[in-house]
Amino acid sequence: MPVDPFSQNKRLGRGVNILGYDPVWGSRDKGRMQEKHFRLIREAGFHHVRINLHPFRFMGDAPDYKIQSNWLETLDWVLEQCRKNGLLAILDMHEYEAMAKDPVGLLPKFLAFWKQLSARCQNAPDSVLFEILNEPNTKLTAKLWNEFLREALKAIRSSNPTRTVIIGPAFWNDIEYLDGLQLPEDDRNIIVTVHYYHPNSFTFQGAEWSDEYPETGIPWLGTAEEIQAIRDAFEKARMWAETHHRPLYLGEFGAYDKADMDSRVRYTNAVAREAERLGWSWGYWQFDDDFVVYDMESDQWVEPILHALIPPVSST
């Protein structure tokens, strides 16, 4: 029987995005993330990891688009570490940039990935969840995305009829665009994901991967107006979820590390607590790349960010 998606969402609880840009996928010997990091994530109080997958460069040619065996073996290793450490695992198809540029041309490859991954994981426990695609955007319009997600669901359900699947709206999974998401009414084992990085001028300031927000030194003070902006956006999403009877997962949020630490801490704490107040699960962006919560060079947590995400339990 399918697991209740609201129960699954509660199990997800607090999480962190991992492995999106780790060289481990090309070679286990070169991986930054090691077995101990899964243990540290669980010990810190996280309940799940969102595993950002970039499989396209590890897939063969048409028509089979066969996934390389070493990539699948690495995935098996990752899932085993999650199992050993009591972490739920979200397998997040993260080829959003490629899919945004040529969605129609890449649709066969996209579906081939899900057919193969679904078959590989069909006997995995219900602690493994599938996320169909991170942040559909640009040429992958809302109209196209609503068509693609149904095709992907069909591919998944052929071998995983009871697997919990995560799906978000087009326009970068932005929390403001839930109204455009059209899910099949007869498939209730779905958690809906949204991302929140507002205001971008603060959260993306000085980011090397974007030239839209070059100005730095922009604070986030936690004023009543700033807090209200979060609450207004989240309330709109809450109302959508209540109307459609779908659980919500905040799959990404955070502030880039060019912002001052005090502002980042205030913002991260405010977003996480508001999500929790509404009963949402969340996944921080991300473990050891950009927005870092774990510093691989010093081999230790960035404690101000960690404690903003998971406040220490008072000893008094």
User: pLDDT, tens digit, for every residue of 243-279?
Assistant: 999 999 999 999 999 999 999 999 999 999 999 999 9
User: pLDDT, tens digit, for every residue of 164-179?
Assistant: 999 999 999 999 999 9
DSSP state of 293: S
Query: Given this model, what pLDDT does residue 36 score?
Result: 98
CA angle 70, 283, 315 (to 5 degrees): 120
The CA distance from 162 to 143, in Å, is 26
User: pLDDT, tens digit, for every residue of 207-220?
Assistant: 888 888 899 999 99
- 67, two tokens: 């996934």
Match 């669980």 to its residue by tokens: 42
- 202, two tokens: 């603060």
Specify the amino acid at residue 175.
I
Residue 32 has pLDDT above 60, yes or no: yes
- 293, two tokens: 């919560």
Q: How confident is the model at residue 315 (pLDDT cuts 50, 70, 90)?
A: very low
Is the CB of residue 82 less than 8 Å from the CB of residue 38?
yes
The CA distance from 246 to 71, in Å, is 33
Alpha carbon separation from 265 to 58, 174, 303 (Å, rounded): 37, 22, 10
Would the pTM count as exceeding 0.95? yes
Query: Given this model, what pLDDT does residue 316 score?
Result: 42
The CA distance from 25 to 261, in Å, is 31
- Give alpha helix (H) positions in the chain: 5-12, 35-44, 69-84, 96-101, 103-120, 142-157, 200-203, 224-244, 261-277, 303-309
User: pLDDT, tens digit, for every residue of 182-205?
Assistant: 999 999 999 999 999 999 999 999
Mean pLDDT of 15-25: 96
Domain spanning 5-309, CATH class: alpha beta
Mean pLDDT of 76-88: 98
Query: Given this model, what pLDDT does residue 212 score?
Result: 87
